[in-house]
Amino acid sequence: MIYHRRPSWHIPEALATDESTFFNRRQLLATMGLGGAASALIAQRAHAATKPGDEYLPTPERNDVYKAGDEREITDEEIASTYNNFYEFGSHKQISKKAQKLDTDNWMVKIDGEVEKDIEIEAADLTAKMPVEERVTRFRCVEAWSMVVPWICYPLAELVKFAKPTNDAKYVRFETFLDPKIARGQKQSWYPWPYVEGMTIKEAMNPVALMVVGVYGKVLPKQYGAPMRLHIPWKYGFKSSKSITRISFTKERPVSFWQEVSKDEYGFWANVNPEVRHPRWSQAEERVLGTTERIPTQKFNGYGEEVAGLYSDTLAKKEGVWLWR
């Protein structure tokens, strides 16, 4: 299926949404805060329409403040959906079929650590509290391929606010599910499962940092890391953890999955920088997925205006190359 730049579904909510869904949403908003059986029933109905790959309804508004750049075409949906990194299902790109084994029904997320109070919440209920929108962004993998994707997402900062971290919290750690029976890649014991990533709270609060719940107008398909995954556009793709089950606020810097695999190749910061080589290849250019084109990579993947302020000269001096790997 080809995704057009001006999607046909990008029309006002009442027109794009079938009447009953629209009506239920109005009802849901009207009864919010009432609690009890009626709102539980409506919440249940809302869940029924959120299977990975279903059309995402109601259609979220596109936020055009953060653009991928007019010169960049949106990557063909078919290509982006069949070329994935998700090591839980294999250490190659063709995992989209295997990932369908993932059971995302009633997916629970735990929020803990340096927070006012631990929270356990169903992913769908968490999303329902968040300001969901569409953003078209650049995505740059450390392996030097890139794509431009219309994510359905909300600012990670909103999740941080919802979690109410204490003053002691300095970092956020994201943990992915662990289920080797379903995810056969997790039987490969030389990897430090489960997949873990992390960043500073300041980074997580930057308005460019996103939690993703859909893509190409659909509820997030499983191979993309359903039901919720990160997208940190100015960092290499491996920072964007998939299928998250636990979010912990910590005093200490978390050690990420890829740092544990090879700290010389995959650092904690992993900010996109064309001037700092990966030990085995140059990061100066990137291959545009679905084309034969190679284009120059931009510092911070082109989001420097928004994020460069996170990294002072003192921090760069202290961390050196690690800010960039």
Ligand X SMILES: Nc1nc2c(c(=O)[nH]1)N[C@H]1C(S)=C(S)[C@@H](COP(=O)(O)O)O[C@H]1N2
Binding site for ligand X (CB under 6 A): 84-88, 141, 176, 195, 224-225, 237-238, 240-243
Q: Is 289 in the site for Mo ion (CB under 5 A)?
A: no
Q: Is 185 in the site for Mo ion (CB under 5 A)?
A: no
Instruction: Give me the sign of the Cα torsion angle 126, 100, 112, 260.
Output: negative
- Interatomic CA distance for residues 247 and 173, integer angstroms: 6
Which of Mo ion, ligand X, none interacts with 249 (beta carbon under 5 to 8 A by kind)? none
Instruction: Give me the sign of the Cα torsion angle 21, 22, 23, 25.
Output: positive
User: Residue 91 CB, nearest distance to ligand X (Å)?
Assistant: 8
- Interatomic CA distance for residues 11 and 8, integer angstroms: 7
By beta-carbon proximity to ligand X, the closer residue of 87 and 154 is: 87
Q: Is 141 in the site for Mo ion (CB under 5 A)?
A: yes
Name which of 44, 40, 22 is nearest 31 in CA terms.
Answer: 40
Q: Is 220 in the site for Mo ion (CB under 5 A)?
A: no
By beta-carbon proximity to ligand X, the closer residue of 25 and 231 is: 231
By beta-carbon proximity to Mo ion, the closer residue of 95 and 109 is: 95
By beta-carbon proximity to ligand X, the closer residue of 25 and 246 is: 246
User: Residue 70 CB, nearest distance to Mo ion (Å)?
Assistant: 26
What are the structure tokens assigned to 252, written together?
């200490």
Residue 89 three-state SS: helix
Which of Mo ion, ligand X, none interacts with 114 (beta carbon under 5 to 8 A by kind)? none
Which of Mo ion, ligand X, none interacts with 241 (beta carbon under 5 to 8 A by kind)? ligand X
User: Residue 226 CB, nearest distance to Mo ion (Å)?
Assistant: 18
Which residue's CB atom is positioned nearest to ligand X?
237
User: Residue 101 CB, nearest distance to ligand X (Å)?
Assistant: 14
Q: Which residues contact 115 (CB under 8 A, 6 or more apart)?
A: 163, 164, 165, 166, 169, 249
- Figure out which of the listed residues 83, 171, 238, 268 binds Mo ion, where binding follows CB under 5 A: 238
By beta-carbon proximity to Mo ion, the closer residue of 93 and 253 is: 93
Q: Which residues contact 72 (CB under 8 A, 6 or more apart)?
A: 138, 148
User: Residue 284 CB, nearest distance to ligand X (Å)?
Assistant: 18
By beta-carbon proximity to ligand X, the closer residue of 114 and 175 is: 175
Name which of 219, 218, 239 is nearest 227 in CA terms.
Answer: 219
What is the DSSP pairing of strand 285-288 with strand 294-296? antiparallel
H-helix segments, the chain: 13-16, 19-31, 36-48, 77-80, 123-128, 156-163, 201-205, 257-261, 304-307, 313-319
CB 128 within 8 A of CB 228: no
By beta-carbon proximity to ligand X, the closer residue of 114 and 286 is: 286
Which of Mo ion, ligand X, none interacts with 224 (beta carbon under 5 to 8 A by kind)? ligand X
Q: Is 237 in the site for Mo ion (CB under 5 A)?
A: yes
HSE-CB at 15 with a 13 A cutoff on CA atoms is: 5
With contacts defined by CB under 5 A, name the span among 1-9, 17-25, 81-89, 261-269 that binds Mo ion: 81-89
State the residues that interact with Mo ion by CB under 5 A: 85, 141, 237-238
